A and B are shown apart, each in its own frame.
Chain A
Amino acid sequence: MSFFRRYAQNVGALVGLAILVVVIIVAAAAPILYPVSPWQGIGDPLLGPFEDSAFPLGTDMLGRDIAAGLAYGARVSLLIGVISTAVAVLIGVSLGAVAGYYGGRVDDLLMRFTEFFQTIPAFAMAVVLVAIFSPTITSITLAIAVVSWPPVARLVRGEFLSLRSREFVQAAIVIGQTGPRIMLTQILPNAISPIIVTASLMVATAILTESSLSFLGLGDRNMMSWGFMIGAARTMLREAWWLSVFPGVAILVTVLAINLIGEGLNDAMNPHLRGRKG
């Protein structure tokens, strides 16, 4: 069975993929769908959903279109989710591979370093980092990457540790391949499945972390984001529920979709689970 066939057997994973594709399309098309900046008040303030057909999801206290905010917020969420995960995976894989392959002192040193990061609560550290380097989209992305690489490093180290004693690695050593080459061409391809699965789930966590930061007012003030929309609307929850409910639903659905995809990838890639009903 091909990979895609196996993936498609999991209904949840398909639904997740469909939702994510919709979110990506909306994010990509935001400037076409809503040519006016999402910060611009264009309607009456505090219009409820469907009160005015021009603003199907209503407007906020300054008359800004909630739907436009959601579309532009999707860009920020996806952007931060993907880039911070990429950075975190890069750091985690490099450190984990070196530690797992070489072992000994190098391993000790790198793992103590990793534990140093693991012992600090991730979100608290992200808050501190963003507060120190004033909140911009770059600093937020990097802060999220910095707090989320340690699990990847741990995972990759474990994989490398077990794979490096296999025959095919021994053979590669015997024929004189260099360490970096063995890591990249022999071990990494064999360890890639769990890394992909972990990374997909990290995207979801990154989106949540960004939303939490924005909710606390530590987001980039010049980028519309879902967390910011909820944070700004939080105070008016009793009067205008739609201000916080729609962005909340957007976060929920997107994170759920990415988790479903992660689950589907896991099922499809993990040979031990083959035959498990999705």
Chain B
Amino acid sequence: MKKILIVDDALTVRLYHRQLMETLGFEVGEAENGIEALERGLSEHFDLFLVDVNMPKMDGYRLVEEMRQEPSLAATPVIMISTEESEQDREKAYLSGANFYVVKPADVSELQTYATLLAGGA
């Protein structure tokens, strides 16, 4: 079973994304901010990170930059999800190392499709 780490400071968003991903058959882990996500990612394997941009302590951009510096996380796929819809924000996400950028509210089938593709199945 493939594993996804959902990284978001909002409990509601984590629970919603958990429900969407578990429906597809993924095993799901959660982290409330970038620091917690980095710690979890370094201690256990995840096939995909679903990362919010605006979080306290360490935001999504910095988390992905840090992941790309870590040999064990450098190739882990990341979907970044944000309320910010400008081209500048999208570009910033890709420059930080994200594989895909989704604007909230995410289209459910689009999110599920990309999660499955990037994780290499569920």
Q: Do A and B come from one complex?
A: no
